[in-house]
């Protein structure tokens, strides 16, 4: 896979996207249209997450559950990111159930998947940690091309000017969809997976209708620990970024790194905005 050069970021309908290959080759409008028109199979599982909420982790867990394997898979989730693939027909050759993923808002999820009532797994993570995680990622990744000081980045986050939609628009859209399609969308929390991975993986397996032995649950829990994935997995960032030969997805994998970045004033402004935007939400988000 050739490394990518920095290019201006794609924009569509007032939203800035990241310059994944499909966006580069087809432009944002066609890329999003192709995702919406994607011929989903009834058995497809789509992982829906905002940026930095844990898609690599979840993809690995689901891959191991579906295949009942004891070790990490060799591929990367980027090979199955719907809005990243210029020619979606490459996914035709994958066996069912396919494990796909997207950061696009729910309104752009393949229409056929929604008609099929296909499974969606949605992982949510506290937005302060997402904000920090994205800050570090955006500095390094050629598809984001966004190396700005923390203070400027923070202001952009506060005004919703990051990538894809704002965190609030994305998550409130997912919540609305979950109310409309309760059996189709499984929402889980990054922090719960950190605190009690085995129990959370078991619940996820139930949602996916997968019978899993206690031993396999143990294996999956151990294999997908942050430390293990950090040492064993390569990620897509390795292939497209010339300077970052090792990839940089597996950074810290902690809860609460925001405390090392937010000033007291930034924290208080964030809390005020969070309270206001999330006042009608039933999500159980905590900041530790």
Q: Could you give the residue numbers annotated as active site?
A: 103
Among 18, 45, 55, 109, binds ligand A3P (CB under 6 A): 55
Extended strands (E) in the chain? 11-12, 15-16, 45-49, 99-102, 119-124, 185-189
Q: Are 175 and 281 in contact (CB under 8 A)?
A: yes
Q: 163 is written with which tokens?
A: 């990538």
Q: What would the x/- binding string for ligand A3P be over residues 243 to 262, using CB under 6 A?
A: ------xxxxx---x-----
CB of 196 to ligand A3P, least distance (A): 13
Is 57 a binding residue for ligand A3P by CB under 6 A? The answer is: yes
Is 143 a binding residue for ligand A3P by CB under 6 A? The answer is: no
45 forms beta bridges with 99, 119
Q: Among 110, 108, 135, 119, which residue's Cα sits nearest to residue 52?
A: 135
Among 56, 80, 128, 238, binds ligand A3P (CB under 6 A): 56
The phi-psi region of residue 119 (left if phi > 0; otherwise alpha if psi is between -120 and 50; otherwise beta) is beta
Nearer to ligand A3P by Cβ, of 109 and 138: the residue is: 138
Q: Are 277 and 168 in contact (CB under 8 A)?
A: yes
Nearer to ligand A3P by Cβ, of 216 and 249: the residue is: 249
Q: Whole-angstrom Cα distance, residue 246 to residue 254? A: 20
Contact partners, residue 268, CB within 8 Å, separation at least 6 = none
Give the helix, strand, coil percentages of the chain, each rounded to 5.
50, 10, 40
Nearer to ligand A3P by Cβ, of 31 and 101: the residue is: 101
Is 52 a binding residue for ligand A3P by CB under 6 A? The answer is: yes
CB of 205 to ligand A3P, least distance (A): 17
Q: What would the x/- binding string for ligand A3P be over residues 200 to 229, using CB under 6 A?
A: ------------------------x-x--x
Residues 1-40 that bind ligand A3P (CB under 6 A): none
**Interface residues with ligand A3P (CB under 6 A)?**
49, 52-57, 129, 133, 136, 224, 226, 229, 249-253, 257
């Amino acid at each position: 896979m050739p490394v990518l050069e920095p290019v201006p970021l794609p924009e569509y309908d007032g939203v800035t996207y990241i310059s994944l290959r499909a966006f580069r080759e087809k432009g944002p409008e066609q890329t999003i249209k192709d995702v919406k028109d994607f011929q989903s199979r009834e058995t497809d599982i789509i992982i829906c997450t905002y940026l930095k909420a844990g898609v690599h982790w979840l993809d690995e867990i689901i891959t191991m559950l579906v295949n009942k394997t004891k070790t990490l898979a060799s591929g990367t989730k980027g090979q199955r990111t719907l809005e990243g693939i210029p020619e979606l027909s490459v996914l035709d050759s994958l066996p069912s159930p396919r494990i796909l993923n997207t950061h696009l808002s729910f309104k752009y999820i393949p229409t056929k998947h929604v008609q099929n009532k296909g499974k969606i797994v949605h992982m949510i993570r506290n937005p302060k940690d997402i904000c920090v995680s994205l800050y570090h990622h955006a500095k390094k990744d050629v598809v984001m091309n966004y190396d700005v000081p923390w203070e400027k980045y923070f202001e952009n986050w506060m005004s919703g000017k990051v990538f894809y939609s704002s965190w609030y628009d994305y998550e409130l859209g997912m919540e609305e969809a979950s109310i409309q399609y309760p059996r189709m969308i499984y929402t889980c929390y990054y922090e719960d997976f950190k605190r009690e991975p085995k129990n959370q993986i078991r619940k996820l397996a139930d949602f996916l209708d997968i019978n899993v032995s206690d031993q396999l649950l143990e294996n999956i829990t151990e294999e997908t620990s942050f430390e293990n994935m950090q040492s064993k997995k390569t990620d897509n960032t390795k292939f497209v970024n010339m300077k970052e030969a090792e990839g940089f997805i597996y950074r810290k994998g902690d809860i609460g790194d925001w405390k090392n970045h937010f000033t007291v004033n930034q924290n208080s402004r964030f809390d005020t905005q969070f309270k206001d935007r999330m006042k009608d939400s039933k999500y159980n988000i905590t900041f530790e």
